[in-house]
Each structure stands twice: as C-alpha cells, then as structure tokens.
C-alpha cells in the first residue's frame, strides 16, 4: 500500500501523468447551473398524446364523445356502454396507449374515472421520462455549443432530471457562453398571412430590427431541423454580414415549393418567437440553400450560425446559479493556501518538537509521511483540490498529531507503573487504540455527511478531511509504531522519559 502510493507520488514529479486537478476556485473558471424549463415540452407531449388517443380509438372503433386538454389534464368522454372497455384499455399492463407498465411497474398516465369521463394525467414515471429525454437532448446541444466556442476541457454533467452542471475551467468571462445557452434557437420559416382565418391559425410577431408587427401563418415551412449547415458570410452585393445556410433534401423540396407558390409574399424567418427578417419572395429558391440577413454584426452572425448548426434546445434553459473566479484570484488563493499550509505545518512541528523532543520528532516524521500519503491518495483518486480542500489538509496537520499524543500520554502513564519499557509501550498502544478509533470515527461521520450534502468547493474539503483521517490512522499505527518500537528496543534498559 505504502509502496504503491509513494511510487505514485514520485511519478507525479517524473512524468506528470497523474495530477491533482485544481478546482475552479483555484485555477479560475466558471461554474454554471442550468435548469431546463420543461413546461412547454410537457404541454407538447400532452398535445401529441391527444392525437395518439384519437387515432387509437378510431382504429379500435370506439366512439369519442369529447376529448380535450384542460391545462395538464386530458378529459376524455365516451359513451356509457364503452366505459368498462376503455377502462380495461388504459389499465391493461400491455397497453400500447398507456405504456411503461413493465419497465416501471406504473403506467404513463394516471387514470381517474368520473362517470363516463376519463381524467388522464401524466404519472410520475411519465413526467420523469419526458424530462430525462429532453435533458439528454439538451445536454447534447449544450455540448455542441460549448465545443464550438472552443473552451478548455469543459465539464458537462447531468444533475437530477432537469438540471445541467457546466464547469468551464480557465474561462473568466462566461458572458458569451451564457448568451449562447440562453437561446433556444428554435428556427422557423413562415409565410405572412393575408387574413386571420387561415386553417393553420395565425399569430402576430414582431420584427426585431424595426419593431413592425406581422401577421404570420402558424404553418412552419421549414424548421431548424431541416438545416444541414450554417455559416456567417459577407454579402458582397450590399456589404452586409449574412448567415448562409444549406437545407437537407426534404427541406429543399419544401422550400422550393413554398417559394414557387408564394412569389410576392413575405417570408418571415422566426427565431425564438421573434422575426429576424421578412424578405419578400422574388423568385423560386430551388437549390436548397439561402441566406438570412438581419442587420448582423460579424459577431452576431457567427453566433447565429453557431446556434443554427448546433440545433434547437428542446426547451428554454435558465441559469439558476453562476460562480466565476478570475485566474488572478485563483492564483492568489493557491499562494495563500500554500503559505498557510507551510506556516501551519512549521508551527505544529515546532510545537511537537518542543513538547516531546525525540518522540516529537517521531510524531513529526509520521506527520510528513502522512501528508505525502494524503497527497498521493488524492492524486490517485484524481480528486479535485479546492481552497477549502487545502484548508482540510492544514486542519489534518493540526489534528493528525492527536493520535500520537494520545499514545504518548498513555505510554507516559504506563511507564510510571510498569518498569519494563517494552511492556509499557505495548500497553500504551493497545489501550489507546479504541479511544483513537472512537475519536476519529466521529470526524469521519461528519465529513461523510458533508460530502453528501456539500456542494462544489466544500466537497473538496470533506474529501481531504476523510482521506486525511485514514492516512493519519495508517501512519500512526504503522509508521509511528515501527519507529517508537525501534527506539524503545534500543533503549530497552534505560529509563525513557516522555516529557
């Protein structure tokens, strides 16, 4: 054990293969916690469930008297004679319209029957599955966007079923990433509508640049999904920055048809509920590529192209926590941490030498071994070292001597009763063992609870504290014990005085 970790410690200096990772508070960087606002996704899912139910009943020739969505409740009314049959359909374990029973021992929809009306709402499992799916999708897109910006080793983690943790080391200004992640990037090409009674429905949206309101059809001609590529470009004709895009096959076909039929109409390019631009269609656009102009700067065109390439988020992401540390503050923290570690270490070592002389030196040697072990194990575990983590190491230095002190004090007592040094030392060790274990287990319990509930840098503290206690116990019971027994054997017949 000791050989493995100390050789690893040497490796650390030789080829730098395994390193202690520095936390964001030490190396500088940004920590963002994002939350996915799943409400629209859930609503959408319920809408499509409504259609699914309609199809299913049609296929099975059951008459629906009424079917509507009331907030998050699907209300289904059937004729009285069908109630029993419909109930069976929804509660069947192999039901295709109300699935998941075999995976989760629970259905997708909870069914409550009120006379001839079925009240259907998403069950716990139904909601979790929707959330998980949209979170996975969101993580993919977040990863694409962050990678495109080109940050150093970003760390993207799932937290629960609607949160994403984003760690961006070395980034001291997360504003660009934040603004990129703040956009859903839901792109749609829609036509201007002449009258408000169109079959697809219409809505009024604003043009960003002019504030002009346009009445648009709700029919989406092509969406962001149809895009294969997008990039910023300088339009040489009017010296404007534009975003040029390429469509997939389906998109190209639809785009060509729509432009052919609607020459003279305005085509609105809608991003996240706002119109970027709405040029008048002058000709058929058949090649499957085009460009969006909208008074972009080169930066905003680059960002829009990036967003379009990485795809739309399934739902809006909200930043609910942000912590950014500049690199110079991180360096200051490292310096302060190391300075206080060295001073704390020297103070403790000086104190122990003054107090216990030769045994103090043994305790100090043990402490050094202990520190080396602690750092090696943290390296082996590839733990992240944070500022509170350094504080944990310093605290370990202060508390680690406790075990040796307990033993020395006990031996002191025993030597006053027992003349044989060897026996006195043995009793000293065995009698203090239980006390030392008891005392250290209490600190470990506290540290483990802190690890479970703590977040970020504080977790680093609990890890160093935990590992520190284990290495302390090891070094006291093996290293210090070995050293003291050698010393006692040499001085078997002399009177040994522990001050």
Partner 1 sequence: MKKDYKFNQYYKSLNIFSITLILLSLIFLIFKGLNYGVDFKGGTLIEIRVETEKPDIEVLRSSFNKLNLGKISIKNFGSDNDFVVKFKRDELNDPEFIENLQKNLSQELTQDFSFRRVENVGPKVSSELLKAGVTAICLSLIAMLIYIWIRFEWQFSVGAIAALFHDVIITLGIFSALSLEINLSIVAAVLTIVGYSMNDTVVIYDRVRENLKKYSDIKIFDLTNLSINETLSRTIITSSTTLLALVSIFLFGGEILKGFSLAMILGVILGTYSSIFIANPLLVFFKVSQKTVLKEDN
Burial annotation 452-485 (CB, 10 A radius, 16+ → b, else e): eebebbbbbbbbbbbbbbebbbbbbbebbbebbe
- DSSP codes joined into one string, 59-86: HTT--EEEEEEETTEEEEEE-GGGHHHH
| Biggest alpha carbon–alpha carbon distance for the chain | 111
At 132, which helix (H) or strand (E)?
helix 124-149
Q: How far apart are CA 446 and CA 438, in angstroms?
A: 13
Which tokens hold the place of 112?
């409550």
Rounded to the nearest whole angstrom, what is the least distance from the CB of residue 9 to partner 1 in the complex?
22
- DSSP codes joined into one string, 318-358: EEEEEEEE-HHHHHHHHHHHHHHHHHHHHHHHHHHHHHHTH
Residues with Cβ within 8 Å of 480's Cβ and at least 6 positions away in sequence, in order, are 362, 363, 365, 366, 404, 407
Which residues pair with residue 216 across a beta bridge?
A: 192, 203
Tell me which DSSP letter residue 224 carries: G
Residues with Cβ within 8 Å of 114's Cβ and at least 6 positions away in sequence, in order, are none
* Burial degree of 494 (CB within 10 A; 0-12, 13-18, 19+): exposed
Burial annotation 318-345 (CB, 10 A radius, 16+ → b, else e): eeeeeebbeeeebeebbeebeeebeebb
Q: How far apart are CA 10 and CA 122, in angstroms?
A: 57
Cβ neighbours around 38 below 10 Å, total: 20
Q: In Å, what is the CA distance from 436 to each residue of 1, 113, 409?
A: 22, 64, 12
Which tokens hold the place of 188?
């749609």
Q: For residues 167 and 29, is the Cβ–Cβ distance under 8 A?
A: yes
């Amino acid at each position: 054990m000791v050989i493995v970790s100390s050789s690893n410690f040497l490796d650390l200096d030789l080829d730098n293969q395994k390193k202690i990772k520095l936390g964001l508070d030490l190396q500088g960087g940004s920590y963002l916690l994002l939350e996915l606002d799943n409400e629209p996704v859930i609503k959408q899912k319920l809408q499509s469930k409504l259609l699914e139910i309609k199809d299913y009943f049609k296929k099975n020739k059951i008459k629906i008297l009424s079917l509507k969505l009331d907030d998050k409740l699907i209300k289904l009314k059937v004729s009285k004679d069908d109630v029993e049959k419909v109930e069976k359909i929804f509660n069947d374990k192999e039901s295709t319209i109300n699935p998941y029973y075999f995976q989760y021992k629970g259905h997708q929809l909870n069914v409550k029957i009120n006379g001839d009306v079925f009240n259907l709402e998403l069950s716990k499992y139904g909601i979790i599955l929707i959330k998980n799916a949209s979170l996975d999708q969101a993580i993919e897109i977040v990863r694409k966007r962050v990678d495109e910006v080109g940050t150093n080793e970003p760390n993207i983690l799932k937290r629960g079923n609607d949160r994403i943790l984003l760690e961006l080391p070395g980034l001291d200004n997360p504003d660009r990433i934040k603004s990129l992640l703040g956009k859903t990037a839901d792109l749609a090409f829609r036509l201007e509508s002449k009258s408000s009674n169109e079959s697809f429905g219409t809505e009024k949206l604003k043009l960003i640049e002019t504030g002009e309101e346009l009445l648009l059809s709700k029919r989406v001609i092509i969406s962001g999904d149809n895009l294969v590529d997008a990039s910023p470009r300088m339009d040489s004709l009017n010296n404007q920055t534009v975003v040029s895009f390429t469509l997939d096959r389906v998109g190209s076909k639809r785009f060509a048809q729509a432009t052919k039929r609607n020459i003279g109409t305005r085509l609105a390019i809608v991003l996240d509920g706002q119109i970027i631009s709405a040029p008048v269609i002058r000709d058929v656009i058949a090649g499957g590529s085009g460009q969006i102009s909208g008074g972009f700067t080169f930066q905003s065109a680059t960002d829009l192209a990036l967003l379009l390439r990485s795809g739309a988020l399934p739902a809006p992401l909200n930043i609910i926590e942000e912590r950014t540390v500049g690199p110079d503050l991180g360096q200051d923290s490292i310096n302060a941490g190391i300075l206080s570690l060295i001073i704390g270490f020297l103070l403790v070592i000086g104190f122990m030498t003054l107090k216990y002389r030769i045994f103090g030196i043994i305790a100090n040697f043990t402490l050094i071994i202990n520190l080396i072990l602690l750092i090696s194990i943290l390296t082996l575990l590839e733990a992240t070292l944070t500022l509170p983590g350094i504080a944990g190491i310093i605290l370990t230095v202060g508390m680690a001597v406790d075990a040796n002190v307990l033993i020395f004090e006990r031996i002191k007592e025993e030597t006053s009763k027992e003349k044989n040094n060897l026996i006195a030392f043995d009793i000293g060790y065995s009698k203090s063992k239980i006390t030392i274990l008891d005392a250290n287990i209490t600190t470990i319990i506290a540290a483990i609870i802190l690890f479970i509930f703590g977040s970020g840098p504080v977790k680093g503290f609990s890890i160093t504290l935990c590992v520190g206690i284990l290495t302390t116990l090891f070094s006291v019971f093996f290293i210090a014990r070995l050293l003291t027994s050698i010393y006692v054997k040499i001085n078997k017949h002399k009177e040994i005085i522990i001050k």
